[in-house]
Structure 1
Amino acid sequence: MTTDWTPLRSELQVWREAGLTLPLWWRDDDAIAPSRQLDRLVDLSSRTGLPVHLAVIPRDASQGLVDQVADQPNLVPVVHGWAHQNHAPEGQKKSEFRLHRPLASIVSDARHGFLRLQESFGDRLCPMFVPPWNRIAPEVTAELAEIGYQFLSTATPRTRRDAAPGLTQINTHLDPIDWRGTRGLADPNALIAKTVSMLQDRREGRADPTEPFGVLTHHLVHDQQIWDFTEALLGCLMAGPTRVWSAEPH
């Protein structure tokens, strides 16, 4: 199958002619240790000029990862739950931060994740909470700002700017992996069409045009096709009327 980038380039040209700018950001999930895949992620970030918000699993984060992040200014560590452990009953969608346990225990895990990575990364840690599987109960969301979080990131276009008082919602919008099927690259032309549709929704007022458009990756499970598509996607977006977004603490 030939991948046709023309629809996305055309939509970005419409944005340019309309004087619009697309805020763009990148999140990559499930980091725990240095790896060749992480090296490749860093290299791609450097070549595209787009920082990676690296969602680190606090319980399992290694000192080697901490050291690597310290040497790579393009890696922005954020908190990815606590243990990336599913607590949902069999038959329900996986989650670590929905109400399948006492609320106090769930909030305690969110706090431990923040403190553990704050101790590891210091001022480099971005106060963003990324719940595993992009799922979180509203009751948990309401407690995050008090812990010290300033951002919540899940998936799909946000419906409002603030997830809770003091907590800004910054979601991801395009994940190239076919998680429910091959677990390889999803249909690339369908991914491009989806991106174009979301950009049109922003341009025509059906979605929040101020929310940074988020690309979501998972470096540990990428095959060559996923790497190639991600690089081409980021290159196409960065060639458009885009503005690099990186989370800055309030």
Structure 2
Amino acid sequence: MNYTIPILYQKEIPNLPNRLGTIFDQAIDNWQRSAAHDAKIRVFFRADDIGVPSKKFTKLIQLFQKHHMPLCLAVVPAWLTARRTRELLSLTGSDDSQWCWHQHGRLHKNFEPSGKKQEFGPARSREEVGHHLELGQSRLQELLQDKFSPYFTPPWNRCSLDTAQILKSLNFNAISRFTGAQPDFTDTIAGIDVNVDLHTGKENSSERAADKLFDQLHTALGSGYCGIMIHHQLMNDHAFHLLDLLLTEVAQKNTCEPCLFQDFS
């Protein structure tokens, strides 16, 4: 896959520590005014496109270990080999409670002839979807064994209703897309959706990209539910600096409750 650094991170984000701190303080204040006194803001991080060891992946893991922060790792089954699995697990270490290794599609390949990209979209038959979901699940169960958790993140945050129904029959606990994604799976399988996108925005200026990111953070935190999507391949030093500051804020705020997918079940 080709990865291009987003425009937001092509230069230093002005006044970042103060701006981020203000957003957290204001959002937490809004939440405390609207919620029960002791209610926590549930925060989770989901890192997509996992499967190939790299310097950026190592840096990502080390950053989460530095802050003792949980991370949901969306693994592409076709990218994983026995050797790669050993390398990834050697980086994450023995504390399994910090990670949620789960399924991210199977091939991470687009099968839609037109429109938005989907691996498990309407262009594929129900039989083909089910076969490939099972192949991906079996691959991760074989390589990750008891570290594998039955949650599913579809590539590009999109998939069909057939996919959701089949995932339920395969004993997956929940699916994670971007908030507001369609079709609605409410009556089929639980959703643990992200609502903050750190790296894949399409804005045409760094200022607009920053405004959108901070608006998403403010809205999510103020709602009491904040799911943050990460693509480490799109990160540079500026992006890692922002993530470091973001993890610091979450770790230091007693009102925030860092979670894994398992904590929503």
TM-score, with length taken from structure 2: 0.80
* Structure 1 counterpart of 2:144, one-letter code: F
Shift in Å, 1:48 = 1.9
Q: RCO higher in 1 or 2 (8 Å CA, sep ≥ 6)?
A: 2
4+ residue runs of structure 1 moved beyond 6 angstroms? Answer: 182-186
* Residues in 2 aligned to 1:164 and 1:79: alpha-carbon distance in whole angstroms: 21
Structure 2 portions without partners, runs of 5+: 1-13
Counterparts of residues 46-125 of structure 1 (less than 5 Å): 46-71=65-90, 72=92, 73=95, 74-90=98-114, 92-125=115-148
Contact kept? 1:176, 1:186, Cα under 8 Å: no
Shift in Å, 1:21 = 0.5
Contact kept? 1:175, 1:215, Cα under 8 Å: yes
* Residues in 2 aligned to 1:33 and 1:24: alpha-carbon distance in whole angstroms: 26
- The residue number in structure 1 matching 2:39 is 20
Shift in Å, 1:63 = 2.2
* Structure 2 counterpart of 1:105, one-letter code: E
Shift in Å, 1:62 = 2.5
Matched, 1:130 2:153: yes
CA RMSD in angstroms, aligned pairs only: 2.6
Structure 1 portions without partners, runs of 5+: 203-208
* Residues in 2 aligned to 1:195 and 1:181: alpha-carbon distance in whole angstroms: 16
Percent identity between the aligned chains? 21
Q: 1:78 to 1:184 in 2, by over 3 A?
A: farther
What are the superposed Cα offsets for residues 38-70 of structure 1, whole Å, 9 maximum, x if unpaired? 111111111222122111110121223311343
Secondary structure of 2:261's partner?
A: coil
Q: 1:194 to 1:179 in 2, by over 3 A?
A: closer
Choose 129-138 or 191-200, whichever is displaced more. Answer: 191-200
- The residue number in structure 2 matching 1:232 is 245
Which one has the bigger helix percentage?
2
Shift in Å, 1:135 = 0.2
Contact kept? 1:177, 1:184, Cα under 8 Å: no
Contact kept? 2:49, 2:231, Cα under 8 Å: yes
Secondary structure of 1:248's partner?
A: helix
Aligned residue pairs total 238
Contact kept? 2:130, 2:163, Cα under 8 Å: yes
What are the superposed Cα offsets for residues 3-50 of structure 1, whole Å, 9 maximum, x if unpaired? 312132222244457433011111101112211111111111112221
TM-score, with length taken from structure 1: 0.85
